[in-house]
Amino acid sequence: MPEIPYWRTEYSGAKTWLVFGALSMAVGTLAGLGSAIHLVAPDFFANISWLEFGRIRAVHVDTVLFGFVTATLIGALLYIIPKVLDTELFSEPIANLAALLYAAGVIIGDIALLAGYTQAREYAEYIYPSDVLIEAALILLSYVAVMTILRRREPLLYVSSWYFLGGVMWGAMVYFAGNAMWHPWIGAEDGLKDAILLWFYGHNIFGLVVTPLATGIIYYMMPRIAGAPLYSQLLGIIGFWTLLSFYAHIGSHHLLQAPIPTWLKAVGIADSFVMVLPVATVLVNFWYTSRGRFSKFLLTPSAKLVLFGTIWYAITCIQGPLQSLAWVQRVTHFNNWVIGHSHIAVLGFTGFVALAGLWYVFPEVTGRRIYSLKMVNAQFWLVLLGLSGFFLFLTIAGLIQGHVWLMGGTVYRSVPMLKPWMTLRLLSGLLIISGAFVGLYNMIMTLKYGEVIEK
Ligand code: HEM
Ligand code: HEM
Domain-wise residue ranges, the chain: 6-449
- What pTM did the predictor assign? 0.97
Give the integer Cα–Cα distance in Å for 454 and 174.
43
According to the model, what pLDDT value does residue 1 have?
64
To the nearest 10°, report the CA torsion of 160, 164, 167, 171: 180
Q: Mean pLDDT in the chain?
A: 97
Q: Is the CB of 207 under 6 A from ligand 2?
A: no
Q: Which CATH number fits domain 6-449: 2.40.440.10, 1.20.210.10, 1.20.58.710, 1.10.4190.10?
A: 1.20.210.10
- pLDDT surpasses 90 at 145: yes
Hey, whose CA ends up nearest to atom 11 of ligand 2? 61
Residue (of 34, 40, 88) closest to 60 by Cα position: 34
Q: Is the CB of 56 under 6 A from ligand 2?
A: no
Backbone angles phi, psi at 368, to 5 degrees: -130, 145
Return the SS3 of 5: coil
Give the integer Cα–Cα distance in Å for 285 and 73.
20
Residues 6+ apart with CB under 8 A from 442: 370, 371, 372, 375, 376, 379
Q: pLDDT category, 51, cuts 50, 70, 90? A: very high
Residues 6+ apart with CB under 8 A from 213: 70, 73, 74, 77, 163, 164, 167, 168, 350
Q: Is the CB of 346 under 6 A from ligand 1?
A: yes
According to the model, what pLDDT value does residue 2 have?
74
Ligand found nearest the CA of 314: 1
pLDDT tens across 96-133, in order? Answer: 999 999 999 999 999 999 999 999 999 999 999 999 99
- pLDDT surpasses 70 at 350: yes
According to the model, what pLDDT value does residue 248 have?
87
- pLDDT surpasses 80 at 455: no
Contact predicate 89/95, CB 8 Å: yes
Give the integer Cα–Cα distance in Å for 43 and 58.
19
Rounded to an integer, the average pLDDT of 193-220 is 97
- pLDDT surpasses 90 at 147: yes
According to the model, what pLDDT value does residue 107 have?
98
Q: Is the CB of 275 under 6 A from ligand 1?
A: yes
Lowest mean pLDDT among 151-155, 249-253, 420-424: 249-253
Residues facing residue 452 across a β-bridge? 368
Hey, whose CA ends up nearest to atom 31 of ligand 1? 345
Run of H or E residues at 69: none
According to the model, what pLDDT value does residue 454 have?
85
Handedness of CA 38, 40, 45, 47 (dihedral sign): positive
Q: Is the CB of 432 under 6 A from ligand 2?
A: yes
Rounded to an integer, the average pLDDT of 290-312 is 96
Give the integer Cα–Cα distance in Å for 183 and 132.
12
To the nearest 10°, report the CA torsion of 31, 307, 301, 154: -100
Determine the residue type at 53.
F
Residues facing residue 332 across a β-bridge? none
* Mutational test site, ligand 2, from 40, 44, 64, 380, max ligand atoms within 8 Å of CB: 64
According to the model, what pLDDT value does residue 142 have?
98
CA of 387 to the centre of ligand 2 (A): 10
Hey, whose CA ends up nearest to atom 41 of ligand 1? 122
Contact predicate 218/239, CB 8 Å: no
Which ligand 2 atom sits closest to the C-alpha of 386? 27
Q: Is the CB of 148 under 6 A from ligand 2?
A: no
* Mutational test site, ligand 1, from 62, 254, 269, 337, max ligand atoms within 8 Å of CB: 254
- pLDDT surpasses 90 at 249: no
Return the percentage of the chain with pLDDT > 70, whole number: 100
Task: Name the more confident of 337 and 410.
Answer: 337
Residues 6+ apart with CB under 8 A from 325: 269
Give the integer Cα–Cα distance in Å for 266 and 394.
28
CA of 431 to the centre of ligand 2 (A): 14
Rounded to an integer, the average pLDDT of 418-436 is 98
CA of 320 to the centre of ligand 1 (A): 6
Return the SS3 of 230: coil
CA of 25 to the centre of ligand 1 (A): 21
Contact predicate 445/372, CB 8 Å: yes
Rounded to an integer, the average pLDDT of 246-252 is 90
Q: Is the CB of 40 under 6 A from ligand 2?
A: no
Rounded to an integer, the average pLDDT of 257-262 is 94
- pLDDT surpasses 70 at 344: yes
Residue (of 276, 396, 252) closest to 331 by Cα position: 396
Residues facing residue 368 across a β-bridge? 452
Q: pLDDT category, 3, cuts 50, 70, 90? A: confident
